[in-house]
Amino acid sequence: MKAVDFFCGAGGVTCGFKQAGIDVVVGIDIDATCKDTYEKNNKGAEFLEADISDLAKEKLEADYQISKNDDDLIFIGCSPCQYFTNLKTDKTKSEASRMLLEDFREFVDYYRPGYVFIENVPGIEKKKESPLNDFKKYLTKNGYVFSDKVINAKYLGVPQNRRRYILVATRVMDSIALPSEDKNKNEFVTLREAIGNTEKFPVVEAGHTDESDFQHSVAALSDLNLKRLKNTPKDGGTRLSWAENKELQLDCYKEHNGHTDVYGRMSWDKPSPAITTKFRYTSTGRYSHPEQNRAISLREGATLQSFPLNYVFHSESQNEIARMIGNAVPPLLAQKVADSILKMDS
């Protein structure tokens, strides 16, 4: 089987699909900064810099030998749709991307691949104005069957509490199933299992820069934030431990005890919180190391996203690398989806 990865970013889905044995021919994304990371880690897959709303449908046929009505072809459409998230965030920046799923549908309509996979934010399936509603109607009208639900990636072996909407569809079988969730005994992959080995993830201090391909680099901390972290109990502590300290307490939290994940430490024996593009900062969530006085490193964030340890992110900017990591679909989640498709196809 082969696939086209629309909105491929740094290659999370491509990595997972290739690990499952599916040939990803091309990844398409508007963000040119992802090109080196995508191509150097996913040999054989070409990065096409393009806005799919302007991309000629025929280009995939002409340049990548993608055929219409190919039963063994998978179209992957994990479009950025933060506009529809359940989280209370500013929608201004994300408004431009809210109809990308419709652009993706046009490619599905033109090529009629045997399979379709989309992953997106929880909430997209509930909003009346969401393009997902029309997309599902289109699938049914055009001979596809589909299965969809919100799945937590921790149930698929990803060491992270990450809820995502997933849909898989096919027109070559009578039914299709999502990857099965393993909820037995709540035995999740924990932070300790993922990044607790100090031989793999050496002890480092805030501000450490790792020039090697391992990229165990850590953001610097101000003296005040370092003091806050030193006063936060290890292994799951929160900023409430220094709420009465006039020097450490922030004005915005003096009358507000919510959002306790901010400045909090991760817990060794739980999956990590959802890795976002801001995971390298202690002030943006529960991203402080359980023991060391620092936020987690770039490599630790990538590992919690289930990227292989030898997956190298190519950029001179640590913030840009963090953005690539945080925006990615966890490769292991993608692999489980690919495995479920292959199992049904065999």
Q: Which residues are part of the catalytic machinery?
A: 81
Q: Are strands 73-77 and 2-6 parallel, antiparallel or unpaired?
A: parallel
Q: What is the DSSP string of 158-218?
A: -SB--EEEEEEEESSSS---PPPP--GGG-PPPHHHHH--TTTS----TT----STT----
CA distance 158 to 155: 7
* Alpha-carbon torsion, ordered 230, 234, 237, 239, to 10 deg: 0
Strands (E) located in 45-144: 46-49, 73-77, 115-120
Looking at the DSSP assignment, which residues form a beta bridge with residue 240? Answer: none
Q: Is the dihedral of CA 316, 318, 319, 320 positive or negative?
A: positive
CA angle 229, 234, 236 (to 5 degrees): 100
CA distance 115 to 341: 8
Q: Is the dihedral of CA 226, 227, 230, 233 positive or negative?
A: negative
Q: Which amino acid is at 192?
A: R
Q: Is the dihedral of CA 85, 169, 1, 102 positive or negative?
A: negative
CA distance 238 to 75: 43
CB burial of 291-301 (b: ≥16 within 10 Å; e: otherwise) equals: ebbbbbbbbbb
Whether the CB-CB separation of 201 and 216 falls below 8 Å is answered with yes
